Amino acid sequence: MSRPVIGVTGPDRGGLAAWWFSALGVRLAGGRPLRIRPRRPHPIDAVDGLIIGGGADVSPDLYGQQRRLPVGELADRGASGWRRALGYVLFPLLWLVRRVLSKKHGGLDADRDALETGLIRQALATGRPMLGICRGMQLINVTCGGSLHQSLTGFYDEVAQIRSVLPRKKVRIAPGSRLAAILGCTRCRVNSLHSQAIDRLADGLSAVARESNGVMQAWEHTGEPLRLGVQWHPEYLPQRAEQRALFQALVDAAGNRP
C-alpha cells in the first residue's frame, strides 16, 4: 500500500522548525509529508489529510472583528531559572533548531490565511481528515464559523502564563472523548506557545481539553472523518508517545479514507 500523503501548511518565511518536526511526526506514523505554503500551493487532491500548522495570528477580519492590540511575546512567568536551564540541557537540539529557523510571530499573514481557509473548506467538502495545531486549531474553528480571543490578557491574573516548548502546562482531557482515546489519558502535560485562544466554538465542534483557568486546549469534530484541533505543539514533543499518537491517528484516518 502507498503511504498516505499528509499536507503540512506553513508560512513562506520561517516555519522550518515546525515543518521539520511535523514531517518527522508524519513519517514516524507511516505517512508521507508534503509541505504547503502560499508560494508553493498544492491542490486538495494531492493530499489524503491535512495538518494546519502554527504561526502568525489569524486575522480578526475572518471572524468579524477589528484588530484590537498588537500581540507581543508573552513572558513565561511560571518558569524559574532552573527550569529554563534544565530545558536547554534536555532539549538542546530542539531549542537550537527553533531559535535558528523560526521567526517571532505577532503580525498577520493574509496570503497564508487565504491559502489555508481554502484548503480547510475543500477538506471539509471532500471528507479529508485534519489536525489543527495552535494557529491551525484556531483557523479551522474560525473557518467553520467560530471566533477567537485576540488577547489572553486577564486569563492569567491568578494562574501564571506558561510559555515554553517544554511540556509544562497541565491540561485535562474530557473522559470518553476521541482525544482521550488517542492520547490514552485524561490528564497530560503539554507545551504552550500561543498568544490567542478559542472564544466561540463553531457548530459541530466539541471542547475536549482545557487548562485550569478554562482556556480551551483542544476541540474535536463530533463525527467522521477525524478533525481535531490542539492548542499545543505536539510536533515539538516527539519523545512523548501520547503526542506521537496524534500524528498516528491522522495518518491512519487518511489511509482509511474511502
Domain ranges of the chain: 5-255
Q: How far apart are the two ends of the chain, measured CA to CA in Å?
A: 14
- Report the amino acid identity of residue 142: V
* Percent of the chain whose predicted confidence (pLDDT) is above 70: 80
- Report the amino acid identity of residue 86: L
Between CA 57 and CA 150 the distance in angstroms is: 9
Q: What is the pTM of this model?
A: 0.85
Between CA 119 and CA 116 the distance in angstroms is: 5
Between CA 197 and CA 194 the distance in angstroms is: 7
User: What is the predicted pLDDT for the residue at 51?
Assistant: 98
Residue 23 has pLDDT above 80, yes or no: yes
Report pLDDT digits (tens) over 49-107: 999 999 888 989 999 887 765 444 434 444 445 545 545 455 555 545 545 444 544 57
Of 56, 71, 46, 49, the closest CA to residue 10 belongs to 56
CATH superfamily of this structure's domain 5-255: Class I glutamine amidotransferase (GATase) domain (3.40.50.880)
pLDDT band (50, 70, 90) for residue 152: confident
Between CA 152 and CA 138 the distance in angstroms is: 14
Residue 16 has pLDDT above 50, yes or no: yes
Report pLDDT digits (tens) over 166-214: 888 899 999 999 999 999 999 999 998 877 889 999 999 999 999 988 8
